[in-house]
Each structure stands twice: as structure tokens, then as C-alpha cells.
């Protein structure tokens, strides 16, 4: 069982990845999604994957050992949430006047 220091370190790491994601999403918005450099796109994907992994780890630590079926459901929920967030982040195609 992880101690409080391990959990605090995971939470700190989670916050760092969220801050990185925020910066990268702002950079992507400045370029426009279609013109964002690959480093930004890959960084966004990496940050989102890291966030999902840390969140799952924290859940597992909190709940103890969980069943494989439950882990798959949660992974699917996280994937759907990320997909919805990506859809929300995409430009609408309209130009501001």
C-alpha cells in the first residue's frame, strides 16, 4: 500500500501534466489545429495519456485492488471523456468577426 508521500507525489505529477496540457492546448489554438506542429500534437496526446494513467493509479491506490472488468470500464470511460474533450477543443470552422 502506498504511503501519503507516494500519493502526494502522484498528485503533484498530475498537476504538472495538467499545466503542460493547458499550455499545449493554448499553443495549438494559436496555430490552429490543422497547422499545429507535430511536437504540440504529440505533447497533447502524451500529456492526456499521462493524466489518465496517473488518475487510474490514484484510483487504484484509493480503492485497493480492483477487478479487471472494472479497470476496463474505467479505461473506456476515460477514453470517452478524452474523445469528448478533443471534440470540444476542435474549432467550429467559423471565423470570428
93: DSSP letter: S
Q: Nine-digit cell at 13?
A: 505529477
2-40 pLDDT per residue, tens? 788 999 999 999 999 999 999 999 999 999 999 999 999
How many residues in the chain? 97
Q: Nine-digit cell at 61?
A: 491506490
C-alpha 32/C-alpha 48 separation (Å) is 19
pTM, rounded to two decimals: 0.64
For 38-44, the CB contacts below 8 A with 24+ separation are: none
Confidence of residue 97 (pLDDT cuts 50, 70, 90): very low
- Residue 91 burial (C-beta neighbours within 10 Å; 0-12, 13-18, 19+): exposed
25-50: b (≥16 Cβ within 10 Å) or e: beebeeeeeeebeeebeebbeebbeb
52-92 pLDDT per residue, tens? 999 999 998 888 744 555 677 778 888 887 887 777 666 65
Amino acid at each position: 500500500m502506498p504511503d501519503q508521500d507516494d500519493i502526494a507525489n502522484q498528485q503533484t505529477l498530475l498537476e504538472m501534466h495538467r499545466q503542460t496540457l493547458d499550455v499545449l492546448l493554448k499553443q495549438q489554438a494559436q496555430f490552429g489545429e490543422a497547422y499545429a506542429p507535430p511536437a504540440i500534437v504529440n505533447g497533447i496526446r502524451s500529456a492526456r495519456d499521462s493524466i489518465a494513467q496517473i488518475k487510474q493509479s490514484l484510483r487504484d491506490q484509493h480503492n485497493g485492488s480492483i477487478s479487471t472488468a472494472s479497470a476496463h470500464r474505467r479505461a473506456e470511460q476515460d477514453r470517452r471523456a478524452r474523445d469528448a474533450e478533443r471534440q470540444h477543443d476542435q474549432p467550429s470552422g467559423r471565423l470570428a468577426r
